[in-house]
Each structure stands twice: as structure tokens, then as C-alpha cells.
């Protein structure tokens, strides 16, 4: 089994500026695909296994963007495919994305980087026969980089926003508004190229994704599952340190990321 890679990706090319052509799914619900919540989902209406549900997604302004991976999360698609627009027609990626007999609700696909402005998702059948075809999140993004070595420490905490109201009898009502992940990574043996990667994240000027599993490692621990991907800001100081013995190669760096 491959090891977790702690890969970094650009933000989603599919966003509120994108336009959608959908066979039956309601256009008003398309934000479900990029709201960073596994639920709600975008679902077909009146579809069945004999009817393809095709979703054509055009990036904001039909502007060409680079992508090298697609993640479909919380979906029930058993068979289907994904293609990209090469300027005149929808074609397969270098590694064609095809689902066949799929039973996993999270699917990650990586391929040779392409430049495109449109994607086409064709969903044919569902895991439960003739169900409505749904997807909770679709993320189409480009790999920024993968550290050459995994972090020596990886800590995830859930920062929550909540209020506790005291009732007339001294009991309480707990109001839980939501939680966001806070991720602390320590790279104790980062190569110079890793440091360059981290610096580029700091200077990106935009949010990005960290995908601890990398899409290949299927862990069971929170943070390392296939569905655990976080859109984050890099919030602490960028301060790489020479290791204790200055004659040793590589550096150490502590990185703190907070989910947006």
C-alpha cells in the first residue's frame, strides 16, 4: 500500500463563477459541488441506469486552467467517465478516468497535467440500481507539490465555534455552529526543494488544499482517510531552521494550516 504523501494542490477550478450544463440535476444546487461540505449533494432528477446523467462544467469565463487531479467525494456512481475539453471536443485524460463497478464513495484520479476550461462528467449507473446519481463534492485542481519526505509530526485539531446557554434551572443548551480543522505539520528533515515548496505556499496569496493521504493511501485515522482533504490558509510564520548541526543537510520547519 502506498504511503500518505501530504500533497498540496491549488484551489478548486470549479467555483461559483463556473457555468453548468446538466442533464437533469437542478442548476440552483450546483454550489453543493464546491461548498467544501460533503453534504448537501448535487443529484439527478428522474434519472435511472438506462439514462446517462451528463454534467458539463465550464470554468469561470471559459478561461483555461491547468489541472492534474480530480476528486469526487460522497458520490454513488458505479460507472461513468470524466473527460476534458481540448478546445474542440471532450477527450480522455492521459490516464482515462473511467469508473466501472465502483463501490467507493470517494474517488481520486491523477493524470498528466492538462490545460482546459471545461470538464464533462458522464454518470451511467449507480451503486444501488436506478438510484438518483449524486455527488457531494467535485474538486478539479493542479498539484502544487509533494514534500520529498513525510512530516515527522502531523496533528489535527478541530477548532469549533459554539455557545453554551444556561437554562432557568442551571442546565445548558449547547449550540454547535461548526468546526474547522487546524493542522500542525513538522518537517524535521525537509530538503531544499521542500523548503522552496513551503515558501511557494506561503507566498501563493491564495488558499490551497492539503491532501494528507495524497489520494492513494487509504488510512482509517482522521486526517489520513481518502475523504480527508482540507482547504487551508498557511497561518504561522515561515521560519525554516538549520538543523542542530549546521554541517548536516536539510532543514526543519513547522507549518500551521487552518481550514477556511
Partner 1 sequence: MSAEAQIDSNIHRPVRRLWIKRKLVTGLYETDWQRVDTVDGEDQVIEWGTVTHEIDADPSTEQSTFDISGVTIKIRNDKGLWNNEKSSTSLFFPDDVYLTRKFTRIKIEAGYIDTDGEEQGVCTVFEGLIESVSVSEDRAAIINTMSYLYVLKNYPISDRAYTATTADVSAIISDLFGLSKVSNFIYLATNTPALDGEIADKTTLEGDYWQVIQRLAFLSNSVPVLVGEIIGSEANGQSFKFVSRAPIGASKRTFYGSGTSAPDIYSIDSYDDEGAKRVVLRWNDDTSSLFAQSSNDSLKEKYLNKTSEVDVSDLSNADRQPLLNALLSYWEYPRESLTFSCKTMLNNINVMDLINISIPGVYPDDCDRWGFGVWGEVVGSAARAGLIIDVETQFLVTSVSLDVDNWKTTIKCERV
Question: Which positions touch partner 1 (CB under 8 A)?
Answer: 11-12, 15-16, 28, 31, 34-36, 39, 163, 165-169, 171-177, 180, 207, 231, 260
**Cβ-based nearer residue to partner 1, 123 or 208:** 208
Helix residue spans in the chain (DSSP H): 192-202
Q: What angle do CA 234, 235, 239 make, to 5 degrees?
A: 85
The size of the chain, in residues, is: 260
Work out how close the CB of 156 gets to partner 1 at its nearest, in angstroms, rounded to a whole number.
18
User: CB 207 → partner 1: shortest distance, Å?
Assistant: 7
Instruction: Answer for the pair 32, 22: CB distance below 8 angstroms, yes or no.
Output: no
Minimum CB separation of residue 23 from partner 1 in Å reads 20
HSE of 31 in the Cβ direction (CA atoms, 13 Å)? 4
Q: Considering the complex, state which of residue 129 and residue 173 has its C-beta at the smaller distance from partner 1.
A: 173
Instruction: Please tell me the distance from the alpha carbon of residue 23 to that of residue 45, in angstroms, as a whole number.
Output: 9
Nearer to partner 1, 112 or 167 (CB): 167
For residue 158, the minimal CB distance to partner 1 (Å) is 14
Q: Which is nearer to partner 1, 35 or 62 (CB)?
A: 35
In the complex with partner 1, the residue whose CB is nearer, 91 or 204, is 204
Min CB(160)–partner 1 separation in Å:
11
CA distance 70 to 82: 9
Count Cβ atoms below 10 Å from residue 136 Cβ, excluding itself. Answer: 22
Amino acid at each position: 500500500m502506498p504511503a500518505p504523501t501530504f500533497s498540496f494542490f491549488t484551489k478548486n477550478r470549479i467555483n461559483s463563477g463556473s457555468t453548468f450544463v446538466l442533464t437533469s440535476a437542478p442548476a440552483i444546487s450546483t454550489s453543493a459541488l464546491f461548498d467544501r461540505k460533503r453534504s448537501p449533494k448535487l443529484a439527478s432528477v428522474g434519472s435511472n441506469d438506462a439514462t446517462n446523467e451528463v454534467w458539463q462544467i465550464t470554468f469561470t469565463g471559459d478561461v483555461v486552467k491547468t489541472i492534474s487531479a480530480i476528486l469526487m467525494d460522497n458520490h454513488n456512481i458505479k460507472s461513468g467517465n470524466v473527460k476534458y475539453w481540448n478546445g474542440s471536443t471532450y477527450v480522455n485524460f492521459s490516464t482515462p478516468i473511467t469508473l466501472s463497478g465502483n463501490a467507493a464513495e470517494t474517488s481520486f484520479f491523477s493524470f498528466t497535467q492538462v490545460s482546459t476550461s471545461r470538464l464533462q462528467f458522464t454518470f451511467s449507473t449507480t451503486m444501488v440500481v436506478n438510484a438518483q446519481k449524486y455527488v457531494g463534492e467535485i474538486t478539479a485542481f493542479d498539484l502544487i507539490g509533494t514534500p520529498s519526505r513525510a512530516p515527522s509530526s502531523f496533528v489535527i485539531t478541530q477548532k469549533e465555534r459554539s455557545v453554551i446557554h444556561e437554562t432557568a434551572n442551571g442546565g445548558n443548551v449547547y449550540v454547535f455552529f461548526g468546526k474547522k480543522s487546524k493542522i500542525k505539520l513538522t518537517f524535521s528533515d525537509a530538503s531544499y526543494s521542500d523548503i522552496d515548496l513551503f515558501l511557494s505556499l506561503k507566498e501563493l496569496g491564495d488558499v490551497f488544499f492539503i491532501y494528507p493521504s495524497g489520494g492513494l493511501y487509504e488510512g482509517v485515522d482522521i486526517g489520513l482517510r481518502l475523504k480527508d482533504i482540507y482547504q487551508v490558509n498557511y497561518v504561522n510564520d515561515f521560519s525554516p531552521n538549520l538543523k542542530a548541526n549546521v554541517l548536516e543537510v536539510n532543514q526543519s520547519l513547522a507549518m500551521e494550516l487552518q481550514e477556511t
